[in-house]
Amino acid sequence: MTFAFPKGFLWGTATAAHQVEGGNTASDLWLMEWMKPSLFAEPSADACDHYHRYDGDIGLLAGLGFNTYRFSIEWARIEPEEGFFSKAALDHYRRVLASCHAQNILPMVTFHHFTAPLWFTRDGGWEDAKSVDRFVRYCEAAAAALGDLMPYGCTINEANIPQMITTMREISGRQPRPGGRRDRALTEAARLSGGVPGRFAPYLSGDGNKATPHLIAAHRKSYGAIKAKTNAKLGVTLSLTDYQAVEDGAALRDKVHHAINGQFLETLKGDDFIGVQTYSRALIGAHGIVPPPNSAERTQMGYEFYPEALEACIRFAAKESGCPTIVTENGIGTEDDTRRMEYTRRALSGVINCLKDGIDLRGYVHWSMLDNYEWLEGYRPKFGLIEVDRATQARRPKPTAYWLGEIARRNAVA
Ligand code: BGC
């Protein structure tokens, strides 16, 4: 049975600057990756050298059949010192955007994808109220320089993830030990960067309860600031897990949903779209997270292999936000590309079910284009549709890339 997707459906892949560009030396994480000891399995170093190879990479995508590329511009390159906006870095991103347009790829630009300039994180990061205006000032500069080439934009990638990490720690009772590895790394990073102990707050290791009000305000304010300088369709992306209640867990499940997603969803009404980013589900019992059954297949990240989560999360996001939806990330860390194809095939059946039910879903963007730097885990997890040889930087599309690209080209599944 064939299914035709709506005309103009976005078929893309995503990356984030720090994970693929290489040499992001003015960022907060660069310092933390090279410290000894480090929380990171290895440094990002040259990553996939996408900073220089973007044109060929975008060409590969186009050749495979995709029509959209979601990538982030790097704040740490654009504003490496507070108040200094690098024309050279902005020109670089103009060339990336121009390369997309020249190769019939629609660019979707994320303004913030986890990393930040070192000066920002050293001075409290998102936990400091100044973060809102600092971020808005950067967005204004970037939108003024790039806005005419930018049809789609995402303000903040997974703006709810600091809250998710904090809330999950609270409900599991597993708080990082004071004076433990994480604490020591943050104190050392503060020292190395000339900051004050206790203030060095990277996006993924900070306090979500403190950062979230600023992230919400930053989304709202930057949304208006970017709109004033572009015609881009704009949204925020959220990390959405399919929370399923088991063993009398309904009340806790609802509480978790409210804490992690509720405060964002309430503020999104009227946005051009909401970005749905889903990888798996979590089972919630009356007293906390219940591990998946022993028989469950796990991905390289340790999550349960559960592609059906995507359908549940699209339905949730559409209903709760009232916005059009775009899947801005969905994928799997695996060495076995046959499992990637199976995961994606089942995730796409969920996409089709949503479309058949009349949900306003505008696109599917797979994470990720390239095997890339998976943060704390280093280069071990393989999320890419395209394999990257770490020694030569040679690219080789995997079977799933050809298969998904063909669906994209036809805008239909057979
Ligand atoms: C992030 C990506 C990350 C992916 C896979 C998402 O939460 O946006 O940067 O690589 O998950 O873990």
Q: Which residues of 238-274 are buried (b: 16+ CB within 10 A; e: fewer)?
A: bbbbbbbbeeebeebbeebbebbbeebbeebeebbbb
Task: Determine if ligand 1 sits within 6 Å of the CB of residue 157.
Answer: yes
Mutating to test ligand 1, I would choose from 329, 330, 332 the residue with most ligand atoms within 8 A of its C-beta, which is 329
* Structural domain count, the chain: 1
Q: What is the pLDDT of residue 91?
A: 98
What is the Cα–Cα distance from 244 to 85, expressed in whole angstroms? Answer: 45
Q: Tens digit of pLDDT for each residue in 67-112?
A: 999 999 999 999 999 999 999 999 999 999 999 999 999 999 999 9
Atom of ligand 1 nearest to the CA of 383: 5
Task: Determine if ligand 1 sits within 6 Å of the CB of residue 367.
Answer: yes
Atom of ligand 1 nearest to the CA of 16: 9
Q: What is the pLDDT of residue 174?
A: 85
What is the Cα–Cα distance from 132 to 109, expressed in whole angstroms? Answer: 19
- List, as one string, the DSSP characters of 18-52: HHHS---TTBHHHHHHHSSS-SSSS--TTTT-HHH
Task: Determine if ligand 1 sits within 6 Å of the CB of residue 158.
Answer: yes
Alpha-carbon dihedral of residues 197, 198, 204, 207, nearest 10 degrees? 180
Residues of the chain with pLDDT under 70: none
- List, as one string, the DSSP characters of 167-216: HHHHHHT-PPPTTSHHHHHHHHHHHHTT--TT----TTTS-HHHHHHHHH
Q: What is the pLDDT of residue 162?
A: 97
Task: Determine if ligand 1 sits within 6 Å of the CB of residue 329.
Answer: yes
Q: What is the pLDDT of residue 172?
A: 85
Q: Record the pTM.
A: 0.98
Task: Determine if ligand 1 sits within 6 Å of the CB of residue 72.
Answer: no
Q: Which domain holds residue 239?
A: 3-413
Q: How far is the CA of 375 from the centre of ligand 1 (A)?
A: 8
Q: How far is the CA of 376 from the centre of ligand 1 (A)?
A: 11
What CATH number is given to the structural domain containing 275? 3.20.20.80
Residue having the nearest C-alpha atom to atom 3 of ligand 1: 374
